[in-house]
Structure 1
Amino acid sequence: MKKLNFIYLVFALIGQSVFAQHALAHFQELIPSNDIVNENTARNIDINMVFTHPMSQGPEMNMAHPSQFGVVSPFGKENLMSALTPYQVNDVTAYKAEYKFKKPGDYIFYIEPAPYWEPAEGVMIVHYTKVVVDAYGSEEGWDTMVGLPVEIEPLVRPYGLWAGNLFQGVVKKNGLAVPFAEVEVEWKNDGSVTMPSDPYITQVIKADANGVFSYAMPKAGWWGFAALLESDEKMKNPKGEMVPVEQGALIWVQTRDMK
């Protein structure tokens, strides 16, 4: 009986460890200070880029210098790498930038972070992330694709959303829809919500046969949608070993309470 109890304990601890790793989903944040700019707001926005676990409020992971940072705007595709500024969050490096709007339009900010080695999962992680900001009521171009290797095409305008609205998107890889892709969803926790158990940290949904997924956002704030796909090519980890690559297609949208 003691031997059986020991075996059950070992399996329980292994299960908790695996489950905890799954619950703490990695999300590359790309959060602007405002997703709608108009005559009542400043013309400038600040954009924060933190690699973290948003629903759990951390821990944050160290970011190396991003490979790409830019915006698709009425001016075309702009390289914003020179606007990046590193800063410290709980002793790890994150990045921020400032952007000034000069013309009405929808601005799609995107980042390709440097590959991140996750030894617990044995993969290199690259999360291609974007967020859309509407400037001066243009409301056009929000579904323009950046052209990233993996990307979510929004089917719902990704701003001006109320809490409770349904968000839909298409998961794409190399421009083609990915059938039955798994999408992880997390809310950027402001400390007002305590999870009753681990499954509430990361919501998990599957796209349909056409790569389309849907999720109703129950609370005001920033919501991250991450479609996690395996790259066709492997990459060297810090030890020089060839390992799989997790390519994440991420999009952030903000909801507000209807008052």
Structure 2
Amino acid sequence: MKKTILSFFVAAAIANAHFLTTISSTDNVNDKKDANIKIDAMFIHPFEQTGMTMEKPVGIYLESTKNALPLTQTKKFDHKAWATNYEIKKPGVYKFFVEPQPYFEPAEEKYISHVPKIIVSAFGVEDGWDEPLGLKYEIIPMVKPFALYSGNLFQGKVLHDGKPASNVEVEVELYNEFGLKAPSEAHITQVVKTDDNGVFSFVMNHKGWWGFAALIEEGEKDFEGKKYPIENGALLWIKAY
């Protein structure tokens, strides 16, 4: 009986997605006073607003791994998290991403390696928001990602090694800083799938930051002498107004 109860709580704990959440102080810089943006990276359950420890990432980058930004250890939801600042000095579209240390999840018997990306427009320039960075797993927005309203239909394309990835599950969650309550556990993490062209669609029904995680299981990594699969996540965080 105790084993059954324990299994139930473990299942409940992992039923809702944990996201490597990356959000910035703004996704639109229109004034010099807002040009020094802060980027937070944390490993959390976004809707439930509960945290997990995030080990120091390999890096937070601008555009490519050649442009690493300085890391500062912080705390989010009582757990270790990371942050960086970047001062935008000229107009453009800026793409930031985080490369984490793979995290072993014993309850799921797999490694989790999520690479989140955010896109920031500065001083009115909007060109290039749909161009890929060339990451192994990546979501490309099909809708201008920094000018969205709640109720808008968002579409993205999942790329795997630069090619559209079909039939891939994409988990979706709201960064719920509003105290919203879900009608059931099943409503916390939404799930859609990509079509034959790697495209998925989702209507954001509330303002705030939304995380999209395209999950592709590929590769293995050793833990205590045993090999486990790696869940690779292409993540994109966008904000609805």
- TM-score tier, shorter chain, comes to over 0.9
Q: Give 2:24's match in structure 1, choosing from 24, 32, 40.
A: 32
CA contact (8 A) 2:10 2:107 kept: no
Are residue 199 (structure 1) and residue 186 (structure 2) matched?
yes
Equivalent position SS for 2:34: coil
Q: Tell me the distance in 1 between the aligned counterparts of 2:194 and 2:29.
A: 32
What TM-score do you get using the length of structure 2 for normalisation? Answer: 0.93
Are residue 66 (structure 1) and residue 57 (structure 2) matched?
yes
Are residue 209 (structure 1) and residue 196 (structure 2) matched?
yes
Deviation at 1:80, TM superposition (A): 2.3
What TM-score do you get using the length of structure 1 for normalisation? Answer: 0.87
CA contact (8 A) 1:20 1:198 kept: no
Q: Tell me the distance in 1 between the aligned counterparts of 2:171 and 2:111.
A: 18
Match of 1:235?
221
Are residue 247 (structure 1) and residue 232 (structure 2) matched?
yes
CA contact (8 A) 1:235 1:243 kept: yes
- Please list the CA deviations of residues 119-148 of structure 1 after superposition, one character each: whole Å capped at 9, or x if unmatched: 000111110110000000000111121111
Q: Tell me the distance in 1 between the aligned counterparts of 2:178 and 2:152.
A: 22
CA change 1:119–1:16 in 2 (3 A) is closer
Are residue 147 (structure 1) and residue 134 (structure 2) matched?
yes
Letter aligned with residue 98 of structure 1: N
Equivalent position SS for 1:21: helix
- Please list the CA deviations of residues 149-196 of structure 1 after superposition, one character each: whole Å capped at 9, or x if unmatched: 111111111111111111101111111111111000000001431112
Q: Give 2:68's match in structure 1, choosing from 80, 91, 109.
A: 80
Equivalent position SS for 1:143: coil
Two-structure CA RMSD over aligned residues (Å): 2.0
Match of 1:178?
165
Match of 2:95?
108
Match of 1:21?
14
Q: Tell me the distance in 1 between the aligned counterparts of 2:197 and 2:232.
A: 19
Match of 1:98?
85
Question: When the two structures are aligned, how many residues end up with a matched partner?
Answer: 240
Structure 2 unpaired stretches of 5+: none
Deviation at 1:223, TM superposition (A): 0.3
- Per mean C-alpha deviation after superposition, the further-off stretch among 106-115 and 139-148 is 139-148
Going by fraction, where is strand more abundant, 1 or 2? 2
Are residue 159 (structure 1) and residue 146 (structure 2) matched?
yes
Match of 1:3?
none
Equivalent position SS for 1:153: strand
- Please list the CA deviations of residues 38-70 of structure 1 after superposition, one character each: whole Å capped at 9, or x if unmatched: 127521111110110101111x12112212321
Letter aligned with residue 71 of structure 1: L
Letter aligned with residue 117 of structure 1: F
Larger radius of gyration: 1
Letter aligned with residue 45 of structure 2: H
Deviation at 1:17, TM superposition (A): 4.5
Deviation at 1:236, TM superposition (A): 1.6
Letter aligned with residue 141 of structure 1: G
Q: Tell me the distance in 2 between the aligned counterparts of 1:148 and 1:247.
A: 12
Letter aligned with residue 216 of structure 1: V
Deviation at 1:78, TM superposition (A): 4.9
Deviation at 1:84, TM superposition (A): 0.9
CA change 1:78–1:212 in 2 (3 A) is same
Letter aligned with residue 217 of structure 1: M
Deviation at 1:30, TM superposition (A): 0.9
Structure 1 unpaired stretches of 5+: 1-5
Letter aligned with residue 236 of structure 2: I
Q: Give 1:44's match in structure 2, choosing from 36, 42, 65.
A: 36
